[in-house]
Amino acid sequence: MQERVKKPTFDVIGTRPVRPDGVDKVTGRAKFGADLKMAGQLVGKVLRSPHAHARIKSIDTSKALALPGVKAIVTREDFVEQASEFVPAGEMLINYRDVVRNVLAREKALYEGHAIAAVAAISESAAQAALDAIKVDYEVLPHVIDEVEAMKPDAPLLHDDMITAGVTPVPTKASNVAKRVEFALGDTAKGFAEADLIIERDFKTAPVHQGYIEPHACVASVSEDGSAELWVTTQGHWVVRAHCAKLLGWDVNKIRVTSSEIGGGFGGKTVVYLEPLALALSKKTRKPVKMVMSREDVFKATGPTSGATMHIKMGAKKDGTITAAEGELIFQAGAFQGSPVQPGAMCAFANYDLEHVKIVGYDVVSNRPKVAAYRAPGGPISTYAVESVVDELAETLGLCPLEMRLKNAAKEGTKAAYGPKFGPVGLVECLEAAQDSEHWKAPLGPNQGRGIAAGFWFNIGGETTVSLQLNEDGTLSLMAGTPDVGGLRASLSMMAAEELKMDVSKVRPIIADTASLGYNFLTGGSRSAFSSGMATVDAARSIIKQACQRAAKLWEIPEEAVTWEDGEVRPAGENAGKHKPMSLSDIGKIAGKTGGAIVGYAAISAQGAAPSFGVHIADTEVDPEDAGRAIHPSYVEGQYQGGAVQGIGWALNEEYIYGTDGRLQNAGFLDYRVPVASDLPMIDTIIVEVPNPRHPYGVRGIGETPIVPPMAAIAASVRRASGVRFFELPMSPPKVLKAMKAAGKA
- Which residues make up the interface to a second copy (CB under 8 A)? 18, 22-24, 27, 29, 37, 39, 88, 90-91, 223-225, 227, 242, 245, 251-254, 256, 286, 462-465, 467, 469-473, 475-477, 479, 506-508, 510, 512, 514-521, 589, 591-599, 601, 603-605
Contact (CB, 8 A) for 406 and 431: yes
We find the least distance from the C-beta atom of residue 701 to a second copy, in angstroms, to be 18
Report the C-alpha gap between 466 and 738 in whole angstroms: 55
> What is the nearest approach in angstroms of a second copy to the Cβ of residue 139?
38
Please, which residue, 15 or 471, has the CB nearer to a second copy? 471
- Nearest residue (CB) to a second copy, 178 versus 497: 497
Shortest Å, Cβ 519 to a second copy:
4
> What's the min distance (Å) between Cβ of 480 and a second copy?
11
Q: Which residues pair with 137 in a beta bridge?
A: 58
In angstroms, what is the minimal distance from the CB of 242 to a second copy?
6
- List C-alpha distances in Å: 23 to 19, 32, 251, 455: 8, 14, 37, 35
Q: Which is nearer to a second copy, 125 or 605 (CB)?
A: 605
CA-to-CA dists, residue 520 to 250, 262, 524, 526, 727, angstroms:
19, 17, 11, 14, 41
Q: Hey, how many other C-beta atoms are within 10 angstroms of the C-beta on 145?
A: 21
Task: Sheet containing 598-606: give its strands across.
Answer: 507-511, 476-480, 462-470, 598-606
526-to-310, 336, 605, 703, 705 alpha-carbon distances in Å = 26, 25, 15, 5, 9
Given the complex with a second copy, which of 479 and 551 has the nearer CB atom? 479
* Crossing angle for the helix pair 733-742 and 710-722, to the nearest 10 degrees: 40
Q: How distant is the alpha carbon of residue 519 from its chain centre? A: 19
- 602/687 with CB nearer a second copy: 602
Q: Which is nearer to a second copy, 345 or 495 (CB)?
A: 495
Least separation, in Å, of the C-beta of 531 and a second copy?
Answer: 10
Closest contact distance (angstroms) between CB of 745 and a second copy is 55
CB 486 within 8 A of CB 647: no
**Minimum gap (Å) between residue 89 Cβ and a second copy:** 8
Q: Write the burial class of residue 449 (CB in 10 Å: 0-12 exposed, 13-18 middle, 19+ buried).
A: middle
383 or 520: CB nearest a second copy: 520
Which CB atom, from 235 or from 309, has the smaller least distance to a second copy?
235
Instruction: Give Cα separations from 619 to 400, 574, 722 (angstroms).
Output: 16, 65, 13
Shortest distance in whole angstroms from residue 534 CB to a second copy: 11
In the complex with a second copy, the residue whose CB is nearer, 225 or 566, is 225
Bridge partners of residue 368, in order along the sequence:
none
Minimum distance between the CB of residue 502 and a second copy, rounded to whole angstroms? 11
CB of 600 to a second copy, least distance (A): 10
Q: Are strands 507-511 and 476-480 parallel, antiparallel or unpaired?
A: parallel
How many C-beta atoms lie closer than 10 Å to residue 572's C-beta?
16
CA distances (Å), origin 521, targets 93, 250, 253, 371, 553: 12, 20, 16, 20, 38
3-state secondary structure of 718: helix
CA dist., res. 544 & res. 536, Å (int): 12
Q: What gap in Å lies between CA 388 and CA 394, rounded to an integer?
A: 10
What does the alpha-carbon distance between residue 715 and residue 435 come to, in Å, rounded to a whole number? 19
d(CA 246, CA 228): 14
Q: How far apart are CA 42 and CA 34, in angstroms?
A: 13
Q: Which is nearer to a second copy, 134 or 488 (CB)?
A: 488
Q: Are 458 and 609 in contact (CB under 8 A)?
A: yes
For residues 574 and 557, give the distance between their C-alpha atoms in angstroms, rounded to a whole number. 11
Other Cβ atoms closer than 10 A to 731 = 20
Nearer to a second copy, 472 or 728 (CB): 472
Minimum CB separation from a second copy for residue 65, in Å?
23
Q: Which is nearer to a second copy, 55 or 254 (CB)?
A: 254
Least distance CB 516 / a second copy (angstroms): 4
- What CA–CA distance (Å, rounded) separates 496 from 337? 41
Q: Closer CB to a second copy, residue 359 or residue 551?
A: 551
* Residue with Cβ nearer a second copy (454 or 512): 512
CA dist., res. 105 & res. 98, Å (int): 10
Give the residue with the Cβ less far from a second copy, 414 or 546.
546
User: In this structure, are strands 357-365 and 177-185 parallel, antiparallel, or unpaired?
Assistant: antiparallel
327 or 481, CB closer to a second copy?
Answer: 481
Least separation, in Å, of the C-beta of 284 and a second copy?
A: 15
Report whether 219 contacts 231 (CB < 8 A): yes
Say if strands 217-222 and 228-232 run parallel, antiparallel, or are unpaired.
Answer: antiparallel
Min separation Cβ 604 and a second copy, Å: 5
Q: How far is the CB of 530 from a second copy (least distance, A)?
A: 14
